[in-house]
Amino acid sequence: MRLRYGRTGGINRRAPLVSPMPHRRFEGGREYLLRLEHGRDWREQIEELANEEGIDAAWFNGMGAATEATIWFYDQDRKEYLPKTFDEPFEVAMAVGNVSFLDGERFAHTHVLLTREDGSTVGGHLDSATAFAGEVYLRELEGRVEREHDEVTDLDLWSDGSLGV
């Protein structure tokens, strides 16, 4: 039996097929290993690599440590980012994100999970973090991805045109 996704999410064996969500298939391009420089900003270094290598779209993940960080939490009711700055050392247990264009410039959209010495964690949308040490794997996607304002969420999301819609 062929499984079909119903309108409420989840699998429904009787529901008619629903139009797929906006998507586009990309071929993988060049791959990079990046060792972040001590004392410099995490995102800025990823954006610098993308600019130097002409990377117009990519997916990356990383790990390491930071001496301080500012993360943002998006308040979905107020539709605004709430910044929180932490002036303390962290392990970067996980950094994941993508490279796309925002307002005509390459942008490393990054989310992080940061751990403290006691094992507690903080996480969210990374605005900035000073690298103590960091290692990033980045895979280029062949193509270009642009961000545009989404009226429903009030966020800058991948544009329909970038997804072939």
Tell me if 115 is assigned to some domain: yes
- The mean pLDDT values, 10 residues at a time, for the chain of 165 residues are 46 56 80 98 98 97 98 96 97 98 97 98 97 98 93 91 81
Tell me if 94 is assigned to some domain: yes
pLDDT for residue 4: 40
**How far is 160 from 149, CA to CA, in rounded Å?**
11
CB atoms within 10 A of CB 24: 15
Q: How many domains does the chain have?
A: 1
Tell me if 7 is assigned to some domain: no
Contact 100, 145 (CB under 8 A): yes
pLDDT for residue 5: 42
Tell me if 159 is assigned to some domain: no
Tell me if 130 is assigned to some domain: yes
pLDDT for residue 137: 98
Q: Which domain holds residue 64?
A: 27-142
Tell me if 14 is assigned to some domain: no
Tell me if 6 is assigned to some domain: no
Return the CATH number at 34. Answer: 3.30.1330.80
Amino acid identity of residue 99, one-letter, is V
pLDDT for residue 6: 45
